[in-house]
């Protein structure tokens, strides 16, 4: 085995630093919402955290009614859900830009419906702005083609692996589609009682809605000149609209290659002594 455990030592240097701490010393202060693992890995990947960045938008999502018996996209709602997220993301990116960041890692995008207003929701984007110690080996900049900091919802661990494998994140890409799934007609529902059958209009509706969300995400990646999208999540959420109206939301990180080969060092095999 080539694994060496760290020798256990005496943390005198660390304790000395604590003993020497004085309020208000000039420091290169930064804040981040990374975990310890993520923080250390992001540093190892050659990036310095600059600060926590966030963007938020409280949005009134309008109402739209679909015909009871019709499969269709509720485009008003799709637009609202997309626009509000876009606002939050853009504000977060503006904060990062003001800090002179190369990118934002560990971005989380959340929606919270407020108790005091049935159509009110807060959209929030939060992440850690980072700056690279050096430009990429292939030349150019870490920023994307619009000269904006890259964004990535990958964890620090995934970010490290991605950089090791010769890829760089370009930006988070997303697509949203709010879809109304038709109710079954009475006789159709009666006819299906007690039977194991496919309900084609349901299948079709779910297909269509997901396809729309994914193609919108893909279009964003094409705009960024990406080679692909990693870590895609396909979420479906009814929020507060009841059973037949669902938002399909696709989100992932668009990436570009930094070098032609994408080989990483062969991982060491380990046999964990725990089940989990």
Partner 1 sequence: MTGNVTVDGWDGRGLPPVARARVERAAADGVRTSLLSADGLAGLEVAGFDAVGEVLGTTVMQIGWTGWGGCGWQPGWGGNRSTFLGGPPYQPGEPVVVTGPSRWSGYEPYAKAIRRGRDTALGRMRQEASELGADGVVGVRLTEERMEGQKHEFMALGTAVRSRGRQRPERTFTTDLAAQDLAKLLGAGWVPAGIIYGLSIAVRHDDWRTNSALSPFAGNIEVSGYTELISHVRAAARDDFARQVGNLGADAALMSGLQSRMWKIEAGENHTDHAASCIVTGNAIAQFKTRRRPTPSSLTILPLRSMR
Q: Which of residues 114-173 bind partner 1 (CB under 8 A)?
A: 114-117, 119-120, 122, 126, 160
Least separation in angstroms between residue 123's CB and partner 1 is 9
Least separation in angstroms between residue 140's CB and partner 1 is 26
Segment near partner 1 (CB under 8 A); pick from 40-48, 137-145, 197-205, 219-227: 40-48
- Asked if residue 190 binds partner 1 (CB under 8 A), the reply is no
Angle at 176 between CA 92 and CA 258, to 5 degrees: 60
Radius of gyration of the chain (CA): 24
- CA distances 122 to 64, 238, 243, Å, are 19, 16, 22
Binding positions for partner 1, 86-115, rule CB under 8 A: 87, 91, 95, 98-99, 114-115
Segment near partner 1 (CB under 8 A); pick from 3-11, 170-178, 210-218, 228-236: 3-11
Q: Record the tokens describing residue 81, joined without a space.
A: 């859900």
Nearest to 171 by CA among 90, 53, 255, 52: 255
Read off φ and ψ for residue 262, nearest 5 degrees.
-130, 50
Segment near partner 1 (CB under 8 A); pick from 4-12, 66-74, 178-186, 202-210: 4-12
**Contact of 146 with 220, CB cutoff 8 Å:** no
- Asked if residue 1 binds partner 1 (CB under 8 A), the reply is no
Number of residues forming the site for partner 1 (CB under 8 A): 78
């Amino acid at each position: 085995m080539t694994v060496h455990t760290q020798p256990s030592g005496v943390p005198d240097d660390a304790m000395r630093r604590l003993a020497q701490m004085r309020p208000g010393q000039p420091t290169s202060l930064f804040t981040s919402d990374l975990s310890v693992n993520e923080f250390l890995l992001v540093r190892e990947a050659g990036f310095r955290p600059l600060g926590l960045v966030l963007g938020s938008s409280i949005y009134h999502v309008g109402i739209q009614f679909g015909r009871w018996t019709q499969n269709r996209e509720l485009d008003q709602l799709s637009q609202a859900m997309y626009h509000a997220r876009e606002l939050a993301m853009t504000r977060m990116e503006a904060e990062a830009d003001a800090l002179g960041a190369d990118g934002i890692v560990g971005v989380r995008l959340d929606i919270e419906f407020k108790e005091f207003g049935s159509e009110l929701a807060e959209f929030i984007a939060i992440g850690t702005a980072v700056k690279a110690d050096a430009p990429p080996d292939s030349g150019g900049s870490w920023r994307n083609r619009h000269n904006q900091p890259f964004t990535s919802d990958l964890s620090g661990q995934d970010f490290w692996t991605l950089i090791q494998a010769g890829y760089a994140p370009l930006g988070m890409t997303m697509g949203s589609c709010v879809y109304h799934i038709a109710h079954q007609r009475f006789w159709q529902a009666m006819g299906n009682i007690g039977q194991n059958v496919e309900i084609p209009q349901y299948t079709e509706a779910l297909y269509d809605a997901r396809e729309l969300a994914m193609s919108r995400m893909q279009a964003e990646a094409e705009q960024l000149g990406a080679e692909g999208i990693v870590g895609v999540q396909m979420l479906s959420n009814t929020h507060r609209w009841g059973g037949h109206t669902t938002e399909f939301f696709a989100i992932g990180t668009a990436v570009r290659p930094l070098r032609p080969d994408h080989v990483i060092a062969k991982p060491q095999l380990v046999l964990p002594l725990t089940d989990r």
